[in-house]
């Protein structure tokens, strides 16, 4: 089916980004790398009642919200939809029903306005979030990707060329935060709750530092998660007192320190001067401080997206839309949603 191309490619196009891969319905407008609006509606409160994301509830919530969220994004940006140069939308990875809501809405806009559709890989969106933080940021750099589904160290060679230095062999870092939160009876998503509880505890429970000093840039989180579960169960069986806050704090250190260490190693080995990061776990205050300190010591420049742009949002989708717009990669109106896109898709 037809691919709508721009009449002429602008230096600083006005791009609407739409994101609906999980439980956040988000829309944002950028002009060049300047963020004009950034709107989000979340069904997380409802999902929290179920201890995770229920796909059908997510799809229905997106259907309710998408029109309003897009209208708010245009209003806040102070632009009319007719002024848009392109619409960028997450086409994967994520929950199929959820993705289809945002994708279909974006296609409708693209068709009606006669502007290009740009399908965005959600993970590339996370990698592009840093571009909004520093308008002068240019590759090469090394990026820590740590979200609910992925954990990897990535060498960004150019805006569109990537080399995965290493990724997780089992669970993602965010998944480990969520599973440990469940063990500690904390709500979903677990990351922010573990971070808050960890502030009241100490790092004094010995936990395995998975693949530390070995395994190249690979990570493994399932052993850490099991060690936490075993610790809690053993304490309960022996009826010994234990501190949930100490568990949260010790887990957070173990989970984060390895990310920081391997990211800095990756930057030093590839010889880049700049480190960036993306994904929900990068909203973690302890990780941000530890990465900043490690980069300072290693003489590396660190560009971190704001916390709001680490967890799912549409500004990062618009930012990656701009990368694709400049590369001339536009999508046909037949573009379909993909439940999974291999990390290797990050070429």
Nearer to Zn ion, 129 or 302 (CB): 129
Closer of 29 and 146 to ligand KG4 (Cβ): 146
Stretch that binds Zn ion, among 33-41, 151-159, 222-230, 311-319 (CB under 5 A): 311-319
The entry of Zn ion, ligand KG4, none that residue 130 binds, CB within 5 to 8 Å by partner kind = none
Q: How far is the CB of 156 from ligand KG4 (least distance, A)?
A: 17
Q: Write down the least CB distance from residue 42 to Zn ion, Å.
A: 13
Say whether 95 sits in a helix, a strand or coil: coil
Q: Which of 121, 90, 100 is nearest to 55 (CA)?
A: 100
Q: Is 113 helix (H, G, I), strand (E, B) or coil?
A: helix
* 312-331 binders of Zn ion (CB under 5 A): 312
For residue 55, how many other CB atoms are within 10 A of its CB? 15
Closest distance to ligand KG4 from the beta carbon of 180 (Å): 10
Q: Is the N-terminal amide bond of 140 cis, ω within 30° of 0?
A: yes
d(CA 31, CA 319): 10
- Residue 217, both tokens: 């840039």
Query: Residues touching Zn ion: how many (CB under 5 A)?
Result: 2
Place of tokens 């618009």: 318
Give the C-alpha separation, 265 to 271, whole Å. Answer: 10
Q: Which is nearer to Zn ion, 147 or 250 (CB)?
A: 147
**CA pair distance 93, 76, nearest whole angstrom:** 28
Closest CB 22 distance from Zn ion, rounded Å: 7
> Which CB, 124 or 179, lies closer to Zn ion?
124
Q: What is the 3-state secondary structure (H, E, C) of 234-249?
A: HHHHCCCCCCHHHHHH
Q: How far apart are CB 147 and Zn ion at their closest, in Å?
A: 5
Residues 229-288 that bind Zn ion (CB under 5 A): none
Binding positions for ligand KG4, rule: CB under 6 A:
126, 147-149, 174, 177-178, 189-192, 195, 279-281, 283-284, 311-312
Task: Tell the smallest beta-carbon distance from residue 93 to ligand KG4 (Å).
Answer: 8
Distance CA 165, CA 266 (A): 7
Angle made by CA atoms 9, 14, 19, in degrees to the nearest 5: 115
Residue 19 site contact among ligand KG4, Zn ion, none (CB < 5 to 8 Å, cut-off depends on kind): none
Query: Which of ligand KG4, Zn ion, none does residue 92 bind to, with CB < 5 to 8 Å depending on kind?
Result: none
Prior bond to 180 cis, omega within 30?
Answer: no
Whether 236 and 188 have beta carbons less than 8 Å apart is answered as: no
Indicate the helix (H) or strand (E) that contains 70.
Answer: helix 55-77
20 binds Zn ion (CB under 5 A): no
- Pairwise CA distance, residues 344 & 192, whole Å: 29
> Do 52 and 188 touch, CB atoms closer than 8 A?
yes
Give whichever of 123 and 302 is closer to Zn ion, judged by the CB atom: 123
Q: Minimal distance in Å, beta carbon 213 to ligand KG4?
A: 24
Of the ranges 34-42, 98-106, 144-152, 298-306, which one interacts with Zn ion (CB under 5 A)? 144-152
Is 147 a residue that touches Zn ion (CB under 5 A)?
yes
The span of 88-96, 129-137, 139-147, 162-170 binding Zn ion (CB under 5 A) equals: 139-147
**Residue whose CB is less far from ligand KG4, 93 or 118:** 93
| Least distance to ligand KG4, CB of residue 38, Å | 15
Among ligand KG4, Zn ion, none, residue 281 binds (CB under 5-8 Å by kind): ligand KG4
Q: Which is nearer to ligand KG4, 41 or 74 (CB)?
A: 41
User: Where does residue 204 rank: exposed (0-12), middle (13-18), buried (19+ CB within 10 A)?
Assistant: exposed
Q: Which residues of this protein are in contact with Zn ion, per CB under 5 A?
A: 147, 312
């Amino acid at each position: 089916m037809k691919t709508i191309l721009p009449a002429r490619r602008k230096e600083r196009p006005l791009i609407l980004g739409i994101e609906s891969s999980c439980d956040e319905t988000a829309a944002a407008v950028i002009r060049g790398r300047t963020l004009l609006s950034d709107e989000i509606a979340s069904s997380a409160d409802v999902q929290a009642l179920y201890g995770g994301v229920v796909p059908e509830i997510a799809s229905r919530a997106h259907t309710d919200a998408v029109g309003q969220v897009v209208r708010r994004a245009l209003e806040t940006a102070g632009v009319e939809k007719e002024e848009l140069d392109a619409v960028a939308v997450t086409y994967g990875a994520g929950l199929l029903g959820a993705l289809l809501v945002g994708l279909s809405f974006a296609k409708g806009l693209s068709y009606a306005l006669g502007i290009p559709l740009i399908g965005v890989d959600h993970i590339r969106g996370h990698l592009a979030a840093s571009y909004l933080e520093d308008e002068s940021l240019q590759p090469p750099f090394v990026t820590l990707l740590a979200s609910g589904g992925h954990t990897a160290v990535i060498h960004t060679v150019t805006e569109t060329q990537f080399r995965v230095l290493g990724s997780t062999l089992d669970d993602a870092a965010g998944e480990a935060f969520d599973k440990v939160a469940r063990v500690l009876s904390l709500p979903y998503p677990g990351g922010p709750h573990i971070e808050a509880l960890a502030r009241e505890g100490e790092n004094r429970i010995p936990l395995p530092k998975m693949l530390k000093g070995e395994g190249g840039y690979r990570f493994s989180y399932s052993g850490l998660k099991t060690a936490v579960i075993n610790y809690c169960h053993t304490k309960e069986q022996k009826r010994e007192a234990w501190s949930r806050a100490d568990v949260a704090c010790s887990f957070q250190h173990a989970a984060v320190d390895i990310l920081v260490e391997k990211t800095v190693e990756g930057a030093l080995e590839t010889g880049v001067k700049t480190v960036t990061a993306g994904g929900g776990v990068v909203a973690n205050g302890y990780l941000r401080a530890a990465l900043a300190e490690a980069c300072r010591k290693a003489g590396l420049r660190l560009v971190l997206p704001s916390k709001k742009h680490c967890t799912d949002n549409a500004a990062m989708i618009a930012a990656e839309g701009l990368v694709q717009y400049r590369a001339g990669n536009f999508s046909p109106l037949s573009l379909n949603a993909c439940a999974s896109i291999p990390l290797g898709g990050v070429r």
